Amino acid sequence: MQPHLKLHDGTQFPAFGLGTWKSKPNEVYTAVRVALEAGYIHLDCAAIYQNEDEVGKAIADAIKAGDTSREKIWVTSKLWNDSHEAQHVESALQKTLSDLGLEYLDLYLIHWPVAFKHGVTFPRSREEFLTLEEAPLEKTWEAMAELKAKGLTRQIGVSNMGPERIDLLSGVGETPAVNQVESHPYLPQTELLTYCQSKGIQLTAYSPLGSPDRQTRKSDEPSLLEHPTIKEIAEKHGVGTGDVLIAWALGRGTSVIPKSVTDSRIRSNLKATELKLDADDMGAISNFGKSYRYIDGTFFAGPNSPYTADGIWA
């Protein structure tokens, strides 16, 4: 039995899933087929990853092949920043459902607390953004609740949000089921995790391996997969460093969604859900003493934007 976390309505949420950002056309179909055949029960998707149609084809073929069923899998997707205005929320989800070939999602997240004009994928000028006054997150949240009421998604949640924004949304509607944020030993998000747990919100850790395949990767950024402490613990247990990072995330009570398109890694990452780190391992990893954010979000902040980095991230 894979690890699960309980959502605030009692639903069991599979704590381990497959990330699909940067998984290219032709690669992502095979990755999802391998994952579902290997026993994955949770897929993390998003409209902005521009590959949901291929993920959907893989899900359909896996179900046809008898590898899984719709009821057995948990599918998450995310509302992109150009569809925050209430009149665009349902059509954005309908597009995702059509691409994924599904009648409902298990979880739909507001991807970022940042809004763009409708149809803008990545803004190039200030005029292409909407401010939070023009597109209030509370209104987006109310529209998300309607999707749940219509049965188009079983759960609703948020991503890249801190306590202030979550409190704002919880004040106008239901508490988000999940908050998906960057989290790994360089950015353990300990305070946010404590806050989320106190509200019954599950925290999903994205970029748990340090997102080394990003186009925007900096040549001098620290590597989690090569970190000496992680290597030492991996040697002690006779596993890979990726396995240790996955086990650490699960061991501290978060869900985790490593991305891979490599057959052997897709399988070994799933196997890592069985790895138990001891208190010494957990303590050593939690005391890196260095902070680093890989998804620095420069794409949404700066002089051409009404948002600042401090105003965006959890």
**Which chain residues interact with ligand CC(=O)C(C)=O by CB under 6 A?**
21, 46, 48, 111, 295
The DSSP bridge partners found for residue 206 are: 182
Q: Which one of ligand NDP, ligand CC(=O)C(C)=O, none interacts with residue 108, CB within 5 to 8 A by kind? A: none
User: What stretches of the chain show up as alpha helix (H) in DSSP?
Assistant: 27-38, 52-64, 86-100, 137-149, 163-172, 190-198, 228-237, 241-251, 263-271, 279-286, 309-312
Nearer Cβ to ligand NDP (21/108): 21
Minimum distance between the CB of residue 279 and ligand CC(=O)C(C)=O, rounded to whole angstroms? 33
**Nearest CA among 39, 34, 38, 72 for reference residue 55:** 34
Helix (H, G, I), strand (E, B) or coil at 86: helix
Nearer Cβ to ligand CC(=O)C(C)=O (206/248): 206
Residue 124 DSSP label: S
Query: Residues annotated in the binding site, as ranges?
Result: 111
Contact between 185 and ligand NDP per CB under 6 A = no
Q: CA angle 13-28-207, nearest 5°?
A: 55
Query: Quick check: is 49 catalytic?
Result: yes
Contact between 19 and ligand NDP per CB under 6 A = yes
Q: Which one of ligand NDP, ligand CC(=O)C(C)=O, none interacts with residue 305, CB within 5 to 8 A by kind? A: none
Query: Residues annotated in the binding site for substrate, as ranges?
Result: 111
Nearer Cβ to ligand CC(=O)C(C)=O (19/56): 19
Nearer Cβ to ligand CC(=O)C(C)=O (9/213): 213
Nearer Cβ to ligand NDP (155/269): 269
Query: To 10 degrees, the CA torsion angle through 88, 71, 20, 249?
Result: 110
Give yes or no for a contact between 16 and 270, defined as CB atoms under 8 angstroms apart: yes
Lay out the site mask for ligand NDP across 289-308 (x = CB under 6 A, - = otherwise). Answer: ------x-------------
Give residue 109's identity as a one-letter amino acid code: L
Catalytic-role residue among 49, 186, 294, 307: 49
- How many residues form the binding site for ligand NDP (CB under 6 A)? 30
Q: CA angle 66-71-77, nearest 5°?
A: 105
Residues within window 86-115 making contact with ligand NDP, judged by CB under 6 A: 111
Q: CA angle 107-112-114, nearest 5°?
A: 140
Question: Which of 179, 254, 269, 305 is close enough to bind ligand NDP by CB under 6 A?
Answer: 269
Q: Which one of ligand CC(=O)C(C)=O, ligand NDP, none interacts with residue 302, CB within 5 to 8 A by kind? A: none
DSSP string, 129-194: EE-TTTS-HHHHHHHHHHHHHTTSEEEEEEES--HHHHHHHHHHSPPPSEEEEE-BTTB--HHHHH
Minimum distance between the CB of residue 66 and ligand NDP, rounded to whole angstroms? 26
Query: Catalytic residue numbers?
Result: 49
Residues that bind ligand NDP (CB under 6 A): 19-22, 44, 111, 159-160, 180, 206-213, 225, 240, 242, 257-262, 265, 268-269, 295
